[in-house]
Amino acid sequence: MKSLVLFISSLMISIGSFCQNDSDMITLGKVKELPMKNAKAFKTKHPDGAIVDYFPGLYFISKSDSVFSIHDGKINAILELEENHVSVVTVESDSIYYSYHDLNISDLKKGDPIKKGSLIGLAKKEDEKFRLLFVIAYNTGRWFNEEEIWQLIKDE
């Protein structure tokens, strides 16, 4: 059941990620290697009193399209929204799910082992930049918030 909830949530995140524009973003900093090389990290602005729920995650924008795993684990899910467009790859490790959204290409299969730093896939190009939405959740369904994700990967 928990896997189904995470699966449905991942699908909703992917659909919602197409609706973000750069003016709704707050810059957090830059990462060197993971999950993308020399990528700027952003979080979404959430106005006080907002009545819409959101899924906490970070956006990464890079000149490079390669997306790399931030953790050892195994591939838990691969979701395709359209033919030849891999939307989500989820890596499971120690009851935590690391989800990479808005990918164009991935050669991975469900159940494949993956190592930290291994290629997950290629990010989708948008406005001459490559963009990735990255989300982390516990198997209980609790999401890491943006600050927790940033603290985990800011030195990568």
pLDDT top residue among 142 and 72: 72
Q: Are 44 and 13 in contact (CB under 8 A)?
A: no
What was the pLDDT predicted at 147?
92
What was the pLDDT predicted at 22?
57
pLDDT top residue among 141 and 5: 141
Question: Would you list the domain boundaries of the chain?
Answer: 2-153
DSSP result, 31-94? ESSSSSTTEEEEEE---TT--S-----EEEEES--EEE-SS-EEEEEEEEEETTEEEEEEEEET
Best-predicted range by mean pLDDT among 6-10, 24-28, 47-51, 81-85? 24-28
What is the rounded average pLDDT of the residues 42-47? 79
Q: Are 29 and 41 in contact (CB under 8 A)?
A: yes
Buried b / exposed e along 19-44 (16+ C-beta atoms within 10 A): eeeeeebeebeebeebbbbebbbbbb
pLDDT top residue among 18 and 146: 146
pTM listed for this prediction: 0.81
* Domain 2-153 fold: Glucose Permease (Domain IIA) (2.70.70)
Q: How far apart are CA 5 and CA 70, in angstroms?
A: 23
Q: Are 13 and 136 in contact (CB under 8 A)?
A: no
pLDDT in tens, 106-139: 889 999 999 999 999 999 888 889 999 999 999 8
Label residue 4 by pLDDT band (50, 70, 90).
Answer: very low
